[in-house]
Amino acid sequence: MRKPELLAPAGDWEKLTYALAYGADAIYMGGQAFGLRAYAGNFGLDEMEKAVRWTHELGKKIYVTVNIFAHETDFEELPDYLRQLEALGVDGAIVSDPGIIGMAQEVAPRLPLHLSTQANNTNSYSVRFWLKQGIERVVLARELTLEELREMRAKVEGGLEIFIHGAMCMSYSGRCLLSNYLTGRDANRGECTQPCRWGYALVEEKRPGVVFPIEEDERGTYVFNSHDLCLLPYLPLLKPINIDSFKIEGRMKSVQYVASTVKVYREAIDTLWEEGEEVFQAKLPEWLAEMDKVSHRDYSAGFLFGKPGAKSHNLESSHYVRDYDFVGVTLSKEEIETLPISSDESMVWIEQRNHFKLGEILEVLTPHEVSWSFEVKEMWDIEGTPIEVARHAQQTIRMTVPKEIQEYSILRRAKREKK
């Protein structure tokens, strides 16, 4: 039984390189138009060309989102954009609008097309319809149970992809109108402001300015606030279904999120497929512990075992669980070569992402090793001046370490408990 493709988000160039370094088989990204994440870093055509070349050199694949619900004016620039994607050699365009599908097949016939989850395919008849229209892979709706996935796979021979991790939209297959209605920014054109995460309370018509909380929470209630999806414990149930691609959500998430989730799912898939379920179950607690170190909302299995109930929604707070602070990344070899000061293997160059200081314990997340920790004992800025605190955003810092730190490593710090 073949392994599924592990597909990771790449909101910008840095996240792309970390996703690939930590073991993704493929990445998906957006251009600067026509995708459903307008506020991600996204890629211009020159950077996209570089990304395609880099990804293919590593023997991996790259997909580009073109999954807006298009309006008439969008079709003025779409033909050229689709031709450019075809010319760049991307491995697939993720689409949802039938008009865009028809245009792509007309102007860029060699561009493979994957149907976005926004097309909400929930049955085998719908999937077979789209496969007959020339779609190579269908990203299934997130509202499917394990049994429905089994039935659909048994009835469909084409490519199938499912989400296994990440944020869950409260609206069916992400097709939400709240943002457009409340803020004028259309979620179906990539501009969602996530009003489902806001705090809500009750206001009575004849009592303007008087706010009545619906729940016992001074910030209001969070009736739309779904938990995050985490199917890691259920991979043994998904394995025999033979899904082609497992997808991680999160082009708007941090580099730490991308690195941690990709590393865990890479190790979990490889272990389950190569060593069996017994070894998988033995390692599962440490993988789940790693998932808890990433900023997230409470986890759930989504629709895998049926329609989610109240326990799959957080009715008290829209806050994320953040037990660790992401404080820095190691510089690449190319970046280090441009620096004015050299250092030996007992030192490491990092780019600061959050303040930290001497005496603190930092944990190192690396692509190919078990995480390990060390105490910060010495630090210097880029001019070689000793410092006690790394307080400046994206400050370049040199520090001593007890052993060599791999490229693409991430430094993080456990949050202190408030007294």
**CATH homologous superfamily for 324-414?**
Translation factors (2.40.30.10)
The C-alpha atoms of residue 356 and residue 152 are separated, in whole angstroms, by 50
Q: Is-contact 401 347, C-beta < 8 A?
A: yes
Q: What is the pLDDT along the chain (419 residues), one digit of tens a residue?
A: 799 999 999 989 999 999 999 999 999 999 887 876 555 567 889 999 999 999 999 999 999 999 888 899 999 999 999 999 999 999 999 999 999 999 999 999 999 999 999 898 999 999 999 999 999 999 999 889 999 999 999 999 999 999 999 987 656 555 566 666 567 776 655 566 666 666 666 777 788 887 766 554 544 555 556 678 999 999 999 999 999 999 999 888 889 999 999 999 999 999 999 999 999 999 999 999 999 998 877 888 988 998 765 554 444 444 556 688 999 999 988 788 787 776 666 789 999 999 999 999 999 999 989 999 999 999 999 988 999 999 998 999 999 999 989 899 999 999 865 43
The C-alpha atoms of residue 245 and residue 118 are separated, in whole angstroms, by 17
pLDDT at 386: 95
The C-alpha atoms of residue 157 and residue 162 are separated, in whole angstroms, by 15
What b/e readout covers 73-89, taking b as 16+ CB neighbours within 10 angstroms?
Answer: ebeeebeebbebbbebe
Q: What's this model's pTM, rounded to 2 decimal places?
A: 0.85
Single-letter residue type at 178: L
Kind and range of the H or E run holding 410 = strand 410-414
β-bridge mates for residue 391, sequence order: none
Q: What is the DSSP letter of 240?
A: G
How many Cα atoms occupy the beta-carbon half-sphere of 73 within 13 Å?
2
pLDDT at 69: 86
Q: What is the DSSP letter of 321?
A: B
165 vs 77, 162, 250, 359, CA distance in Å? 33, 9, 9, 35
CATH number of this structure's domain 5-178+225-312: 3.20.20.70
pLDDT at 191: 65
Q: Is-contact 166 248, C-beta < 8 A?
A: yes
* Helices vs. strands in the chain: H and E counts, helices first: 11, 21
pLDDT at 194: 67
5-178+225-312 and 324-414: identical CATH topology:
no
pLDDT at 284: 97
Q: Is-contact 135 115, C-beta < 8 A?
A: yes
Domain extents in the chain: 5-178+225-312, 324-414
pLDDT at 342: 67
